[in-house]
Chains A and B, each alone.
Chain A
Amino acid sequence: MLRTLRQRITLTDIFIWVIGLAIAGVVIWGTIRTLELGQYSGSTWLDLTIKGLALGGVYALIAMGYTMVYGILKMINFAHSEVFMSGPFTTVFVALGLSNSGFLDKQPIISLLIMTLVSAGISTTIAILLERLCYRPLRSAPRLVPLITAIGASFFLQYAFKGVFGSGVYGYPEIKSLEQSWTFGGIQIYETQLVVIFGAIAMMLVLFGIVQWTKIGKAMRAVSEDKEAAELMGINVDRIIVFTFALGGASAGVAGILYTLLFPVVNFFMGFFPGIKAFTAAVLGGIGNVPGAFLGSIILGLLESIGPNLFLTGLGVPSPSQLKDAIAFIVLVLILIFRPTGILGERISQDKA
């Protein structure tokens, strides 16, 4: 009995557990210390929570692209962060045009819809081109090959956009009618945050509906289950894959516009961090799983906005919000170590992980 136990638990496991427990200990201790200090009031925490929810909503829409493509092709579309970037970065010129002509102030809702459509259209185009030119020829190649292609495509797209539109930072025009904010019992809620949260939920429902209840969604699920069998059942696998990329691209484009409502500046590098974080969120929820991506994104958004202040202030770390990106990465490392299937994920066999 003891012998089998000893064989099953290796030194590596012990080491990993020690690291995990150490991090958990630091988090708990930091939280207790921060709350003891009482530096932040309750309303600050609620403010951060709402910020985190909005951020999580944006991550959720980006994460959809990762998770759906992973579900079908079992590859990480590394260039998805650039699919996300291409939409809002191009749309900024449309937005500036609308703003200069005064249309944006007169018809903010129609303008926002136009911007969303343009952004989604461009992101979708980029996603489809990516699939057609880079990934399709490599579908049967060894695993590392498409991944390296994706990294190359990501860099190519980043610097191509930099070359075409310049390396500067462009600011989105302010939408005056979304400037309002309300105060409920000391918590300030901005209208933009509400738009982002509800926009993200609406888009998520649309995507979930497409995947769950339409015929093409059924085909998508069939392809992700078993590509060969789906093909034998008369499903055009190529078309389904293109559709998946298009859907992911469209959702990333919408996410892009919502993101600019929260952070109204764009440049060619803007896709990198949201992309990685959305991927983290997709893994956290269980990659390949649509509701999981949503859940993971919300959790990650909250962790990112509350986490640094909650965990690190008490430990005496100065300006903890500098470390918010590191928190996302640490979360990623921890999930991949302890629960690579994610929160809602099914058991992924060894060769997939």
Chain B
Amino acid sequence: MKSETSYWVKTVQNGLIGGAIAMLLSLIGIVLAFGKTYIIIGLFSMGQVFVFTPIILESFVSARKAPSKNALTLLLLGGLSGLMGGVVLVVMIALQQVINLRSVLINLSPDLIALLTFKLPLALGLFVLIIAAVVIGVISAAFLLLPARIRGALSQAILTIVILGLFRDLIVTVITHWGFVRYAFLWLFALSGLSIPGVIVVFVVVGGLFYWRLGRKPKPVVKARTIQQQRLIRWGPMAVLGIIGLLLPVILGSYFSEILDNVGIYILMGLGLNIVVGFAGLLDLGYVAFYAIGAYTLGVFTTSEAVGIWHLNFWAATPIALIVAVFAGVILGLPVLRMRGDYLAIVTLGFGEIIRILVLSDWLKPLLGGSEGIQRIAQPSIGSFIFGNQQRLYYLILIGIILAGFISVRLKDSHLGRSWMALREDEDVAQAMGINKVATKLLAFAMGALFSGLGGALFATKIGSVYPQSFSFIVSINILSLIIIGGMGSIPGVFIGGLALVGLPLLLSQFADFRYLIYGAALVAMMLVKPEGLSPEARRRLELHEEIKEVPYEEPASVLKTPGELGGR
């Protein structure tokens, strides 16, 4: 059986790939950074999750793609794949013992080796590591043999445990504010991660819940509802969200409010970039330029330092900042309108860098302060109410987001929004249909610049100063990643992306060192697996999965049924 032998070779390959990924994660330092973040106190840490997840996944894939469905073969395949993964790690550790690689690979420290060998003596530890890898491989293959319902419940329970353990600090911080209710939950957690009884309870509760839910028969989706009910369904969640949004800083306290402010500014800019990239399909890598322009304009006009001019207040300076940002957007937009895709990306990147270099230079130092930036930016106030702290600033940012969100939602299905999408799909056809390319694209750039400028102005107010270091290329990438992860062109996607990509690294300080690594990996993975994003926009999904032509409802007989007409294009 040639195909079967070749499959064993393939499994060895899979195992080696899994081991290599685990090794890479160890060498990059993620494993050690999370080595003390326990998921279950004393049992295993997030670092070990990072090491073993690639091995688990590769074993699972090896078993799932196996041609034979014989249970023993599957378990053997899983074990073999796990073994190979373990071997890679063992070889890495053994090599370090023979030749000192530490001077090159800075993370290959005794701490890492202790973590990988379960703090046992070296020889025993390596042996245990191999055995653990094999056992894990067999278990993940065995996972495949379980009925789907149990498998679903198990994986949900494990996922919940990992998430709860990972966010233990945050959850506990929030829970302790809850008065006597806290005693009902606090015992689930240990000093780091979950406590043993906590794990058992979570496992049983979540597992049971999902086992029950997966067993239910799906209800028919369509239901007759009165207009009042429909209205309630439409506005109810929004009202709840609105109230929560208003109360958030009060609930969370000042530390979380600062994080919330940062997330908010990024969401605001994400909404703007979403118009440029998501709606109009113009890949703008220099988005940070308008952010910088907004921040610096506000800084120059409101600072009480000598570099400033006019010394206006926030309310008078913000419109100027916005006008300058929009003007810059139009100036950039005009010459690059004829370029598409790749070239546009590089030119906008260049524009962003030009702005940063100019701001840093000695030439503009008398106006913009060079590398020292501008300090002492005035805080906005209404009457005697000063937006002095992070909690109060949150409301200012919230207003900005609501404004941007409202404009985005209204624009999306407007004439202009549809023109943008038409240009995105096919420029020539769109022009032939009478869409004014120049004006339409310029409006997209101007809208994007407007929100970015507003974000910059709010950022400058929040920090109270502006420095050129805050406006590097990485900010553009940050915003781009969040709209791509959320789903290009999707407005809820911006919120999801912002919370996940900006909020998480701020909440989990261990992630902060690896955030750009994770962004990069997430962008690639997203494009390979789910290019439409986490919360996809309907039209984009159709475009990216054109092979799927099925329609979920039964059509009336009178409708034409040629598959080409259902594709959406």
Considering the complex, which residues of chain B in the window 326-357 have a beta carbon less than 8 Å from any beta carbon of chain A? 334-343, 345-347, 349-351, 353-354, 357
Spot the interface stretch: B4-12, B25-33, B82-90, B111-119. B25-33
B281 at the interface (CB under 8 A from A): yes
Q: Is the CB of B438 within 8 A of A276?
A: no
Residues A145 and B516 in contact, CB atoms below 8 Å apart: no
Give the residues in chain A near B350, CB-CB below 8 Å: 276, 280, 329-330, 332-333
Q: Is the CB of A155 within 8 A of B343?
A: no
What's the minimum C-beta distance from A192 to chain B, rounded to whole angstroms?
25
Interface pair B521/A156, CB less than 8 Å apart: yes
Residue ranges of A at the interface with B (Cβ–Cβ < 8 Å): 10, 12, 15-16, 19, 75-76, 78, 93, 134, 137-138, 141-149, 151-160, 162-166, 272, 276, 279-280, 283, 317-320, 322-323, 325-326, 329-330, 332-333, 336-337, 340, 351, 353
Select one of B351, B358, B543 contacting A333, CB under 8 A.
Answer: B351
CB–CB A149/B524 < 8 A = yes
Beyond A76-B346, A164-B107, A322-B361, whether A10 also contacts B521 by CB under 8 A is no
Query: Within 8 Å CB of A137, what residues of B?
Result: 528
Name the one of A93, A164, A283 contacting B27, with C-beta atoms under 8 angstroms: A164
The reply to whether B527 and A149 form a contact with Cβ atoms under 8 Å apart is yes
A165 contact set on B, CB distance < 8 A: 104-106
Report Cα–Cα, A305/B521, bound state, in Å.
36
Known contacts A318-B362, A336-B336, A340-B338; 17 further A-B pairs (Cβ under 8 A):
A16-B335, A93-B104, A141-B527, A144-B283, A145-B527, A145-B531, A147-B345, A149-B523, A152-B481, A153-B523, A155-B477, A155-B519, A163-B29, A164-B28, A164-B107, A283-B343, A326-B357
Q: Please count the residue pairs between chain A and chain B whose beta carbons lie under 8 angstroms apart in the complex.
A: 167
- Give CA–CA (A148, B278) in the complex, Å: 13
Closest B residue, CB atoms, query A316: B363
B104 neighbours in A (Cβ, 8 Å): 93, 165
Would you call B71 an interface residue if the criterion is a C-beta within 8 Å of the partner chain's C-beta atoms?
no
CB distance from A351 to the nearest CB of B (A): 7
Query: Interface digits, B1-38 against A, CB 8 Å rule (1 contact, 0 not)?
Result: 00000000000000000000000100111100000000
A148-B527 contact, Cβ under 8 Å, with A19-B335, A163-B27:
yes
CB distance from B83 to the nearest CB of A (A): 24
Residue B480 interfacial (CB < 8 Å) = yes
User: How far apart are the CA atoms of A93 and B102 in the complex, in Å?
Assistant: 12
* B531-563 residues at the A interface, CB under 8 angstroms: 531, 543-544
In the complex, which of the residues A78, A134, A336, A337 has the most CB atoms of chain B within 10 Å of its own CB atom?
A: A336
Across the interface, do B343 and A340 meet the contact criterion of CB distance under 8 Å? yes
Within 8 Å CB of A154, what residues of B? 520
**CB pair B28 A157 closer than 8 Å:** no
Chief secondary structure at chain A's binding surface: helix
Q: Are the CB atoms of B343 and A134 closer together than 8 Å?
A: no
Q: Jot down 29 A-B pairs with beta carbons below 8 A, ordered by A.
A: A15-B335, A134-B528, A138-B527, A143-B342, A149-B527, A155-B477, A155-B519, A156-B521, A157-B520, A159-B517, A163-B513, A164-B27, A165-B105, A276-B353, A280-B350, A283-B346, A317-B361, A318-B365, A319-B362, A319-B363, A322-B363, A326-B357, A330-B350, A330-B354, A332-B346, A336-B347, A337-B335, A340-B338, A353-B340
Contacts of B477 in A (CB 8 A): 151, 155
Which residues on the A side are within 8 Å of B358 (C-beta)? 323, 326
Binary contact track B283-300/A, C-beta < 8 Å → 1, others 0: 101000000000000000
Count residues of B near A (Cβ-Cβ below 8 Å).
Answer: 60
B130 within 8 A of A: no
Tell me if B484 counts as interface (CB < 8 A to partner A).
Answer: yes
Which residue among A16, A146, A152, A317 has the maximum number of chain B CB atoms within 10 Å of its CB?
A152
- Scan residues 105-135 of chain B and give those whose CB is less than 8 A from a CB of chain A: 105-107
Are B106 and A159 interface neighbours, CB within 8 A?
no
Which of B362, B484, B513 meets A148, CB within 8 Å?
B484
Contact between A158 and B520, CB atoms less than 8 A apart: yes
- The reply to whether the CB of B275 lies closer than 8 angstroms to some CB of chain A is no
Chain B facing A: main interface SS: helix
B514 touches A (CB below 8 Å): yes
Give the distance in Å from the alpha carbon of A283 to the alpha carbon of B350 in the complex. Answer: 13
Q: Does B172 contact A (CB under 8 A)?
A: no
Contact of A353 with B345 in the complex, beta carbons under 8 Å: no
Asked, given contacts A138-B528, A326-B357, whether A156 binds B517 with beta carbons under 8 Å apart, the answer is yes
Residues of A contacting B281 with CB < 8 Å?
Answer: 144
Whether A76 contacts B527 by the Cβ 8 Å rule is no
Q: How long is the Cα–Cα vector from A134 to B322 in the complex, in angstroms?
A: 39
Cα–Cα, bound, A162→B474 (Å): 15
- Bound-complex Cα distance A10 to B30 (A): 55
List the B residue with the shortest CB-CB distance to A325: B357
Bound together, the chains give a CA A328 to CA B522 distance in angstroms of 31
Could you tell me if B335 and A158 are in contact, using CB atoms closer than 8 angstroms? no
Contact of A158 among B106, B354, B516 (CB under 8 A): B516
Asked if B360 is an interface residue, CB under 8 A from chain A, the answer is: yes
Instruction: Looking at the assembled complex, report how far the CB atom of B145 sits from the nearest CB atom of chain A, in whole angstroms.
Output: 30
Residue of B nearest to A315 (CB): B363
Q: In the complex, what residues of A have CB within 8 A of residue B527's CB?
A: 138, 141, 145-146, 148-149, 152
A204–B365 alpha-carbon span in the complex (Å): 42
A315→B348 CA distance, assembly (Å): 26
Contact A15 B341 (CB under 8 A): no
**Residue contact B480 to A353, C-beta cutoff 8 Å:** no
Please name all residues of chain A whose beta carbon is closer than 8 Å to the beta carbon of B105 when the two chains form the complex.
164-165
Shortest Cβ distance from A305 into chain B, in angstroms? 16
Contacts of A155 in B (CB 8 A): 477, 516-517, 519-520, 523
Q: Are B361 and A319 in contact (CB under 8 A)?
A: yes
Contacts of A320 in B (CB 8 A): 363
- Taken together as a complex, chains A and B put the C-alpha atoms of A164 and B519 apart, in Å, by 17
Is there contact, CB below 8 Å, between B520 and A156? yes
Nearest-CB distance from A80 to chain B (Å)?
A: 12
- A163 adjacent to B342 (CB under 8 Å): no
Is the CB–CB distance between A336 and B283 below 8 Å? no
Given A155-B517, A159-B516, A160-B28, A329:B544 Cβ within 8 A: no
**Given known A-B contacts A12-B337, A76-B345, A276-B350, A322 and B360 have beta carbons under 8 A apart:** yes
* Closest chain B residue, CB of each to CB of A317: B363
Give the CA-CA distance A12 to B439 in the complex, in Å: 10
Q: Which residue of chain B has the shortest Cβ distance to A146 in the bound complex? A: B527
Complex: A137 Cα to B531 Cα, angstroms = 12
Chain A residues, Cβ within 8 Å of B27: 163-164
Task: Report yes or no: B543 in contact with A142, Cβ–Cβ below 8 A.
Answer: yes
Which residues of B are found within 8 Å of A332, using beta-carbon distances?
346-347, 350
Contact across chains for A152 and B346 when beta carbons are under 8 A apart:
no
- State the Cβ distance, B380 to closest chain A Cβ, in Å: 33
- For A157, the closest partner residue in chain B by CB is B520
Q: In the complex the two chains form, what is the Cα distance from A283 to B343 in whole Å?
A: 9
Residues of chain A within 8 A (CB-CB) of B544 are: 141-142, 145
Q: Mark B458-486, 1 if CB is under 8 A from A, else 0.
A: 00000000000000010001001100100
Across the interface, do B521 and A152 meet the contact criterion of CB distance under 8 Å? yes
Inter-chain contacts of B531 with A (CB < 8 A): 141, 145
A332–B352 alpha-carbon span in the complex (Å) = 13
- B217 CB to closest chain A CB (Å) equals 38
Closest CB-CB distance, B20 to chain A, in whole Å? 11
Do residues B519 and A336 form an inter-chain contact, with CB atoms below 8 A? no
Minimal Cβ-Cβ distance residue in A for B352: A329
- Compute how far the CA of A11 lies from the CA of B349 in the bound complex, rounded to whole angstroms: 25
